[in-house]
Structure 1
Amino acid sequence: MTTAQANGPKPYSELVKPDRVHTALYKDEAIFRDEMEKIFQKTWVWVAHESEIPQPGAFKTSYVGLQPVIVVRTREGEIRVLLNRCRHRGATVCENRTGKTSNFVCPYHGWTYGLDGALRGVPYPEGYNDFDKSNYGLVSLRVESYAGLVFATSKDDIESLSDFLGPAKTWIDLFMKQGAGFGVKTAGEHKFRFPGNWKIQLENTTDAYHFPLVHRSFLNSVDDETGQTFDLMNQGGFVQDLGNGHSVMVMIPHLVDLEEGLDAPIPERFAALADELRRSHPEDVVRRVVRAVGGTGFNLNLFPNLACSMAFFRVLRPVSVSETEISHIAIGMDGGPEAANRARLRIHEHFQGPMGFGSPDDAEAWTRVQRGAEAGPDLWIMLNRSLGVDGVDNQGPGLGDVSAETGMRAAYQMWKRMMCA
């Protein structure tokens, strides 16, 4: 497969090198169209967390690449992912972002579908000759879940979700310890778009190199103790390739496993919360909850569209070659103390919220990357930080540098594998 370049067509295999990728990956519309087919139609794509559809009839609308889908729980409790398109003339059958329903009705001609996608009713059926409703249900995608994370795929003969996630499952399990024994639930979502390619954001989740520079305003907004915690370049962190394009960036090693270190002193910024929790909970629960409130010490990138990022889910959705929608989904403790969930939301708002210190700065940087992609006819994006250094990219005795571009190299090698398949 080739794509047009300033100096002639280049095979996809030549657009991804061990230490760089071609700028065409950000701006070539033909590449984008192929990505939607070869990647988003051929692998597991995250669509929901189970807590978003807690009971029969609960649903949310989502996307698999460019395809609109409905994630719904059937009367039997099964999770289905249905293409959001009437089988008659193609109109969407659901426009609400979330809700609860007993069926889906096309607003154009009234075709009615059950929660399982089966076609239940057609107005004025006498107008059809030899019409079998069982042949016209909503198209259902293959669905599997792990630790509450729901994935869907259009590819029936794909490997299991468990095999696809591989070593990433260990890190998902660690991430879910933020439930502090109560379980994890979603706690609100906000979305925004930036004028840039989806892979620019994919890179960001395992990019610690930018943090002390781009997020200086955030670091200036916190107390000294918190600032020391977020001194990422001096914490002994690392980035690890987990296979299949997945990677983890450990920024704060002592916060990787939230069930360890429960006897450590409670940080000053959580002292008031701990005192409030002690009024109704024993000390062991207080310490477990307080340790989980601030989130984990790592970002987990799950190729191609989900990041489990410290204390929230970040979901990317390709809109076009030069536009991407980002969803930041706050998470809380399912059945946990209200004071703790309130504290988690305040932390989320401080950095990731629409008026926070983190997201606007990130979005500005991503926008500038896309704008800069138009400069020069045949330039490359460098991903060579710490490449070849002992202990990096799983070579040598350790795992090396937290600012290594290991995660980006891992994602692009998966991109290359899928695009050249």
Structure 2
Amino acid sequence: MSELIELANISLKAAEMVEEGRVHKSLYSDPAIFEEELDKVFNNTWVFVGHDSEVPDSGSFKTSFVGRHPVILTRDRKGNLHVLQNRCRHRGATVCEGRKGKTKALTCPYHGWGYGLDGSLRALPKPEEYDGVFDKKDMSLESLRFDTYQGMVFATFNNDIEPLPDFLGGAKKWIDLFAKQGGGYPMKVLGEHRFNFPGNWKIQLENTTDAYHFPIVHKSFVSSLDDATADIFDFLDGEGFVEDLGHGHSVMVMIPELVDLEADLDQPIPARFEALAQALRDEGRSDDEVKKLVRAAHGTGFNLNLFPNVSCSMAFFRVLRPVSVNETEIQHVALGGDGAPQAFNRKRMRLHEHFQGPMGFGTPDDGEAWERVQKGSMAGNDGWILVNRGMTRLRTSADGNPQGAVCSETGMRAAYRQYKKVMSAASVTAQPGE
């Protein structure tokens, strides 16, 4: 009984640390709250685990995480997707260590139990020793409930949670717009890189819809651009906005004219994009397709934040994974078009490297800022983090949602409102497998 009371008190403590317009810095550094977050947030909501283009063929796999739990996204021999716990049913060893690839089976390296890509137990050494002990069909790898939207794969340990389309809600409209990045071709993962930063996962969650930092933190990036492009990124006084989409999701529109990549395609191609346009013509593409591809090549004009762990950020996915209270893994995923012209996908990769890549202008600067927030959260015995910018200047969007200026903190408040809701749950859900 004392353990239940302790957990309840942690929940109350976390919930009380979120107020409308501010959150307490202890949310970044309290190990007990972090452990509670893994259960309340990551075990009990829809968590992004990958894109279906990462497992394109039968036999394809990709390893991922749901919170702290290692999982495998697979495509079986019939072409069906599965999300499986990466844990042998015998003694618990992981059955897959590669990040992604193709295989005929998932085999435990400890005692040789072999599983199909659908998770079924296919073979084990000395099977006669298990006669009358168990039936192989009852010892498949444990599956997670999952669903997809526009190729994005989400999984959950909570079988009672609302359907994925309901959870995404108002964000679906923006995912549909983001999926136009392929320039008329299905969106495809081109590559990725990962890094860890010494800070809490919520620091990064806040960043995706924070335009306020852009001209300060990313001054070096802006200075690397041509004048016309730099003008586009001078958006703090523009007509952009941040909108609360419900369920912790939000969108930050920085460049309104690039919200729909298939709109206004009759406009002339800007001179600065002529080299790409000519490369596409040289590949035999029609004028109409060239216009569509050039428009899509440089990404959308918005960042979409999907609670709790993935953002569709202009031209890439950013995926966060909580490692500890003061460590977070970030995965940056470059996106292109499946079957799109080589010149198009090559341009997408170069743009990704320019900002998001490990030698790019954006990622190192963001990482430095996130690390400093974590360090600062350890100063003093009391302190609040402000997320109140624009609170008194909200309006209602065409979709009926709260909306603020592009430099407002509307998105952060949306995320923390959902965080407070899930962390205020009356009791702890049983851990997976119990």
The whole-number CA distance in structure 1 between the counterparts of 2:252 and 2:28 is 23
Conservation of the 8 A alpha-carbon contact between 2:11 and 2:33: no
Distance 1:136 1:12, change over 3 A: same
> 5 Å matches for 1:186-205?
186-205=189-208
**Secondary structure of 2:79's aligned partner:** coil
Conservation of the 8 A alpha-carbon contact between 2:14 and 2:27: no
Residue number in structure 1 paired with 2:179: 176
The count of residues paired between Structure 1 and Structure 2 equals 419
Q: Does 130-139 or 58-67 show the bigger shift?
A: 130-139
The whole-number CA distance in structure 1 between the counterparts of 2:29 and 2:183 is 43
Deviation of the 1:199 alpha carbon: 0.5
Deviation of the 1:395 alpha carbon: 12
Residue number in structure 2 paired with 1:382: 386
Conservation of the 8 A alpha-carbon contact between 1:392 and 1:406: no
Residue number in structure 2 paired with 1:98: 100
Residue number in structure 2 paired with 1:400: 404
Give a deviation string over 1:250-303, Cα, whole Å, max 9, x none. 000000001112122322321111122223111111100000000000000000
Residue number in structure 2 paired with 1:321: 325
The whole-number CA distance in structure 2 between the counterparts of 1:398 and 1:164 is 18
Instruction: Write the letter of the residue equivalent to 1:89.
Output: R
Deviation of the 1:140 alpha carbon: 0.3
Instruction: Write the letter of the residue equivalent to 1:251.
Output: M
Task: State yes or no: 1:76 paired with 2:78.
Answer: yes
Task: State yes or no: 1:64 paired with 2:66.
Answer: yes
Residue number in structure 1 paired with 2:240: 237
Deviation of the 1:374 alpha carbon: 0.4
Distance 1:286 1:89, change over 3 A: same
Conservation of the 8 A alpha-carbon contact between 2:11 and 2:36: no
Residue number in structure 1 paired with 2:163: 160
Instruction: Write the letter of the residue equivalent to 1:245.
Output: G
Distance 1:124 1:367, change over 3 A: same
> 5 Å matches for 1:218-237?
218-237=221-240
Distance 1:2 1:171, change over 3 A: farther
Residue number in structure 2 paired with 1:349: 353
Instruction: Write the letter of the residue equivalent to 1:272.
Output: A
Deviation of the 1:340 alpha carbon: 1.1
Given candidates 353, 356, 360, the residue that maps to 2:364 is 360
**Secondary structure of 1:234's aligned partner:** coil
Conservation of the 8 A alpha-carbon contact between 2:70 and 2:85: yes
Distance 1:390 1:122, change over 3 A: closer
**Secondary structure of 1:300's aligned partner:** strand
Give a deviation string over 1:363-394, Cα, whole Å, max 9, x none. 00000000111001121110010111142799
> 5 Å matches for 1:302-317?
302-317=306-321
Instruction: Write the letter of the residue equivalent to 2:83.
Output: V
Deviation of the 1:74 alpha carbon: 1.1
Distance 1:343 1:91, change over 3 A: same
The whole-number CA distance in structure 1 between the counterparts of 2:106 and 2:154 is 22
Identity %: 61
The whole-number CA distance in structure 1 between the counterparts of 2:339 and 2:175 is 20
Distance 1:93 1:401, change over 3 A: same
Residue number in structure 1 paired with 2:431: none
Deviation of the 1:158 alpha carbon: 1.2
Conservation of the 8 A alpha-carbon contact between 1:392 and 1:404: no
Q: Does 267-276 or 288-297 show the bigger shift?
A: 267-276
Conservation of the 8 A alpha-carbon contact between 1:26 and 1:322: yes
Conservation of the 8 A alpha-carbon contact between 2:243 and 2:401: no
TM-score by length of 1: 0.96
Q: Write out the 4+ residue segments of structure 1 that deviate beyond 3 Å after TM superposition.
A: 1-5, 392-400
The whole-number CA distance in structure 2 between the counterparts of 1:228 and 1:124 is 69
Distance 1:112 1:189, change over 3 A: same
Instruction: Write the letter of the residue equivalent to 2:311.
Output: A
Conservation of the 8 A alpha-carbon contact between 2:20 and 2:413: yes
Residue number in structure 2 paired with 1:19: 21
Given candidates 333, 337, 342, the residue that maps to 1:333 is 337
Residue number in structure 1 paired with 2:30: 28
The whole-number CA distance in structure 2 between the counterparts of 1:294 and 1:169 is 21
Residue number in structure 1 paired with 2:41: 39
Instruction: Write the letter of the residue equivalent to 1:250.
Output: V
Distance 1:409 1:9, change over 3 A: closer
Conservation of the 8 A alpha-carbon contact between 1:3 and 1:11: no
Q: CA RMSD in A?
A: 2.0
Task: State yes or no: 1:284 paired with 2:292.
Answer: no
**Secondary structure of 2:332's aligned partner:** strand
**Structure 1: segments with no counterpart, 5+ residues:** none
Given candidates 244, 258, 263, the residue that maps to 1:260 is 263
**Secondary structure of 1:232's aligned partner:** coil
Distance 1:390 1:66, change over 3 A: closer
**Structure 2: segments with no counterpart, 5+ residues:** 426-434
Distance 1:23 1:53, change over 3 A: same
